[in-house]
Amino acid sequence: MFQIQKLPATSTSGHINQKPLFVRHESTNNVIDNIENKYYPSLEKDFILKDSIRSAFHRASVFFNKANRPDVITDGACRASDIRTIRTRLSAYIDNMPDDLEKELDEAKADGDLVTVQRIYAELVAKTYQDPLSLQEQTSRQTTSASSETIEIISETEDKYIEGAPTFCGEMSYLFYHFLCQEGVDPNEMRVICFTQEDSHIDPDSLNNHALIIYSSNKELLKKMENYCGVGEHHDHDGSYSHFINICTERNQEKDVLLLIDPWNRDNKIIDPLIKDRVFEYIKNSNKDEQKIEKIFLKHLVDTILIESEVLPQDHNQYDFNDLWEASICIDKPIDSSSDESEGDYQS
């Protein structure tokens, strides 16, 4: 999924050093290719949804700056700390939103209408990142801090790619959510959800978490999930992650579409539980219970994301529902907590 180019750079001793440059749109292009090549069986059930997700990836690609991920190589032009500037600007948009939008938000919060709350917040996040001044400032910072060789390589890439302002998983999920809405996807069929590390030995405020989008054509499934998972806070439900997996499997596989879309993931993954890969065959060969097969496989797919995001430890057993490690999950309620978000490497 990665394309690493070596850039020549001269050290103070006069020797030529090799500086890596991460071509950030590469993994996004791979996802788009996978969509076009019918890699995701669920998307073949709904061609309008397929086109909408593909278009959203095209539109969002310029914002896939994951400078805060230690596992992503960058050219060093954009620092993870720059997210504070973005969040300050986002807070200003929230505090000064138009009266009609604020009224709509207040009514939605009073009614417990999380769909409208998330849709409005997504609009404000998109406004923050699409502000011409914001992009101008970020582009200026890049071109003044990057070497001339770096700028030349960036300008020669196929899409004339320019790295934008940095995103954490929360901002990226809401940006993508906004683009999906603009592409015609019903917001009632989406939720931004957040997985949180569970560890009694760690200060709750420093727990790793990871946000992504769940899409389901079965709105009742999302409502059930919303009622179970709660909103915007850490919950003490025993086995909440396992219950989440159980809810996801309560669908008609022939008719319903279920996807987990993780645009901040290193490879911009779309998790489609209908993909039957080698892991699925391994689980199937070792277990004859059809319902349990799907649960274990979906858990494996989600675990992979959570391990990469350090919500689950590297030695987590992805095939064992009785594993010691768990993850809490909630439906995100963004505007109540957006100003208090942590600045950790993987936190949303």
DSSP character string of 295-319: HHHHHHHHHHHHHHTTSS-TT--TT
Top mean pLDDT of 77-81, 148-152, 255-259, 285-289 is at: 255-259
According to the model, what pLDDT value does residue 244 have? Answer: 87
According to the model, what pLDDT value does residue 228 have? Answer: 75
CB 96 within 8 A of CB 62: no
Structure confidence at residue 79 as a pLDDT band (50, 70, 90)? low
Residue 257 pLDDT > 90: yes
pLDDT in tens, 44-62: 999 999 999 999 998 888 7
pLDDT in tens, 266-281: 778 899 999 888 888 8
Q: Which of 82-96, 173-187, 233-247 has the lowest mean pLDDT?
A: 233-247
Greater model confidence, 264 or 1:
264
Helix (H, G, I), strand (E, B) or coil at 8: strand
Please list the residues that pair with 55 across neighbouring strands.
Answer: none
Greater model confidence, 214 or 223:
214
DSSP 251: S
Greater model confidence, 48 or 225:
48
Give dist(CA 302, CA 193) in Å, integer: 12
Greater model confidence, 88 or 135:
88
Total structural domains within the chain: 1
Helix (H, G, I), strand (E, B) or coil at 174: helix
Residue 10 pLDDT > 60: no
Range of the domain at 295: 28-331
Give dist(CA 309, CA 345) in Å, integer: 9
pLDDT in tens, 146-155: 344 443 443 3
The model's pTM = 0.79
Residue 192 lies in a domain: yes
Residue 336 lies in a domain: no
Mark 287-318 as b/e (b = at least 16 C-beta within 10 Å): eeeeeebbbbbbbbbbbbbbbbbbbbeeebeb
Minimal CA–CA distance to 332: which of 59, 63, 122, 123?
122
Mean pLDDT of 139-168: 47
Residue 104 lies in a domain: yes
Structure confidence at residue 253 as a pLDDT band (50, 70, 90)? confident
Residue 343 lies in a domain: no
According to the model, what pLDDT value does residue 151 have? Answer: 35
According to the model, what pLDDT value does residue 337 have? Answer: 43
Residue 283 lies in a domain: yes
Residue 60 lies in a domain: yes
CB 225 within 8 A of CB 244: yes
Residue 342 lies in a domain: no
According to the model, what pLDDT value does residue 109 have? Answer: 92
According to the model, what pLDDT value does residue 80 have? Answer: 54
Residue 331 pLDDT > 60: yes
Q: Which tokens hold the place of 190?
A: 């989406």
According to the model, what pLDDT value does residue 98 have? Answer: 92
Say what angle helices 99-111 and 114-130 make with each other, to 10 degrees. 150
Residue 2 lies in a domain: no
Q: How many CA atoms lie within 13 A of 33 on its CB side?
A: 8
